């Protein structure tokens, strides 16, 4: 049975003096020409200040919030420059003893990748502080936008005592960076943690936990972060998929065009069409780093003793790609 812990607004961390809201945008900051158009809108139009005002004064208690616009991007266009800037802003704020935690506004489309990236590179600083990503499925101009409530909920989580790690808050649910993925292209509750279920919920500004806050593992990807700060060149890591009739063509073309890493979204428990398997083994032999993840949305692959290609240790294909990027970044002298 799950332990359920209630945290009241009155119990918020009394040592922290301020919290930080970083804007990268997405649909939460989107607007449509026609009020109420939930599909034909442009993402990333409103400033983080406007979103803050739209959420009409966050959780009670008067804690000061520092607002900062890091980027204004539709998250389908997320790139390494924004990731580098975001990680550095988080690193700096988390090192400030007066900062209790950070909320980030982000598009839903690649949110799980940014969450995993930040979890890996900031892990050492996440032992006692949270970085909470939030988002919206409807633009700010919707007749009933979900962004303001999500932002209020994310702020409540950032201020909850004991909150730590990289968390995702959407539609009243709290998810951890490792498990979370976008599971639905339209519903307001678009995120899932699959078999694991959400870490907890936010209900009228109160956090109810079903699981413990995720423990951040210190020391992960620290060298990669140092290299990112020093302007290292990001390696090229691509994702390929196994499917009926798959061939060597995509892998061969990617290797020819300079990919340094390849993640394959394999079928089932890491199975690959023989032609794709041969191509990936050739790629690995030529020095390309290869990882095998599964395209199944639930559960995780069990390693097979006879496997000739390393598995992605339970990560989804997009998160395995993030981890491989960081591994290759860390390997740069
Ligand atoms: C985006 O990912 O930036 C747009 C879509 C969304 O936020 O739901």
Atom number in ligand 1 closest to CA 28: 7
User: Which long-range CB contacts under 8 A does 249-257 form with residues at least 24 apart?
Assistant: 251/276, 251/279, 251/280, 251/282, 251/283, 252/279, 254/283, 255/282, 255/283, 255/286, 255/288
Q: What is the pLDDT along the chain (333 residues), one digit of tens a residue?
A: 333 443 334 444 456 789 999 999 999 999 999 988 999 999 989 999 999 988 875 555 567 899 999 999 999 999 999 999 999 999 999 999 999 999 999 999 999 999 999 999 998 788 889 999 999 999 999 999 999 999 999 999 999 999 999 999 999 999 999 999 999 999 999 999 999 999 999 999 999 999 999 877 666 678 888 889 998 899 999 999 999 999 999 999 999 999 999 999 999 999 999 999 999 999 999 999 999 999 999 999 998 899 999 999 999 999 999 999 999 999 986
Closest by alpha carbon to 2, among 154, 298, 201? 201
CB of 142 closer than 6 A to ligand 1? no
Residues 219 and 244 sit within 8 Å (Cβ to Cβ): no
Is 27 tagged catalytic?
A: yes
Structure tokens at 87: 């990680």
Spot the catalytic one: 24, 27, 31, 110.
27
Q: Which residue has the tokens 């063509």?
A: 249
Tell me the backbone φ, ψ of residue 9, rounded to 5 degrees: -60, -30
Atom number in ligand 1 closest to CA 74: 3
The rounded Cα 323 to chain-centroid distance in angstroms is 12
Closest by alpha carbon to 85, among 76, 73, 97? 73
How, if at all, do strands 165-170 and 130-134 pair? parallel
The terminus-to-terminus CA distance of the chain in angstroms comes to 48
Atom number in ligand 1 closest to CA 25: 3
CB of 107 closer than 6 A to ligand 1? yes
CB of 227 closer than 6 A to ligand 1? no
CB of 26 closer than 6 A to ligand 1? yes
Q: CA-CA distance, 228 to 85, in Å (whole number)?
A: 9
**The whole model's pTM is what?**
0.92
CB of 190 closer than 6 A to ligand 1? no
């Amino acid at each position: 049975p799950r332990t359920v812990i209630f945290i009241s607004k009155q119990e918020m961390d009394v040592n922290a003096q301020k919290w930080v809201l970083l804007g990268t945008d997405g649909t939460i900051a989107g607007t449509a020409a026609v009020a109420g158009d939930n599909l034909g809108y442009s993402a990333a139009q409103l400033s983080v200040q406007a979103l803050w005002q739209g959420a009409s004064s966050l959780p009670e208690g008067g804690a000061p919030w520092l607002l900062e616009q890091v980027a204004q991007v539709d998250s389908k266009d997320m790139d390494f420059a924004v990731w580098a800037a975001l990680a550095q802003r988080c690193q700096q704020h988390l090192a400030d003893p007066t900062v209790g935690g950070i909320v980030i506004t982000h598009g839903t489309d690649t949110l799980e990748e940014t969450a995993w990236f930040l979890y890996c590179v900031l892990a050492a600083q996440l032992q006692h502080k949270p970085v909470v990503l939030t988002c919206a499925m409807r633009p700010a101009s919707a007749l009933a936008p979900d962004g303001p409530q999500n932002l209020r909920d994310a702020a409540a989580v950032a201020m909850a005592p004991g909150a730590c790690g990289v968390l995702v808050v959407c539609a009243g649910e709290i998810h951890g960076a490792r498990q979370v993925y976008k599971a639905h292209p339209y519903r307001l509750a678009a995120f899932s943690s699959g078999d694991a279920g959400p870490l907890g919920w936010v209900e009228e500004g109160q956090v109810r936990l079903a699981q413990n806050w995720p423990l951040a593992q210190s020391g992960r990807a620290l060298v990669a972060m140092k290299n990112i700060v020093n302007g290292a060149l990001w390696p090229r890591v691509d994702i390929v998929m196994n499917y009926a009739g798959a061939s060597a063509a995509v892998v061969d073309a990617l290797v020819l065009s300079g990919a340094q890493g390849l993640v394959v979204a394999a079928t089932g428990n890491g199975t690959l069409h023989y032609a794709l398997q041969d191509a990936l083994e050739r790629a690995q032999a030529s020095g390309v780093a290869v990882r095998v993840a599964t395209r199944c949305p639930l559960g995780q692959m069990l390693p097979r003793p006879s496997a000739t290609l390393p598995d992605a240790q339970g990560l989804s294909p997009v998160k395995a790609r993030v981890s491989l990027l960081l591994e290759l970044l860390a390997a740069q002298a």
